[in-house]
Amino acid sequence: MKLLRIMKNFVLTIILTFFFQSHLFSAPMKMIGMKGKVSEVSKTIKIDMYDNYYKPKIINVKKGETVRFVVENKGLLVHEFNIATMKMHKKHGPEMLDMMKNGILLPNKINKKKMKQMAKMNHKMTHSHSNSVLLEPKQKAELIWKFTSNVRLFGGCNVPGHLEAGMISKININ
């Protein structure tokens, strides 16, 4: 009887684990907001990237607001501006490390050709998340994001070592 109960608990644990994992996979993106529409942009915020920090350090937005981020890399290294929770940044780090190990991400260059080749085998290597931009020195890009909740977000760079070095800006959602 005891064995049966253990078995039951084991099966239940597995079911619950699958349920929560599948739920969590879809949850983070909705939680942090969504890709915004150009027609709904109500504010433009300029983000300058340096080695290894952003200007500004604090970003103020409102809940429900669609913001156009104009991101410019003024540093000498490749940098990312990724809107995410701290937990998501931590998870994204290893993906970037993989890109570096595969020669896609070089200190001051992105090997786009290799990125395309690798993407056929592993979609993570494309790095085309709607909540981030990855830029070479002197490159500029726009990111339109709609903030839909009060969750604690950070603009961060997940190029290995950069976040730890201070390449992170706090996003205040009021």
**Of 135, 153, 165, 143, nearest in space to 45 by CA:** 143
What's the distance, CA 127 to chain centroid? 9
CA separation, residue 169 to residues 7, 53, 154 (Å): 47, 8, 6
Binding flag, residue 89, Cu ion (CB under 5 A): no
**Stretch of residues binding Cu ion (CB under 5 A), selected from 18-26, 79-87, 99-107, 112-120:** 79-87
Residue in the structure block whose two tokens are 């027609």:
39
Under rule CB under 5 A, residue 167 binds Cu ion: yes
Report residue 84 as tokens.
Answer: 């995410």
Q: Choose which of 67, 71, 96, 159 interacts with Cu ion (CB under 5 A).
A: 159
Shortest spacing between CB 144 and Cu ion, in angstroms:
21
Return the residue of 104, 135, 157, 173 that touches Cu ion, per CB under 5 A: 157
Give residues in contact with Cu ion (CB under 5 A): 79, 157, 159, 162, 167
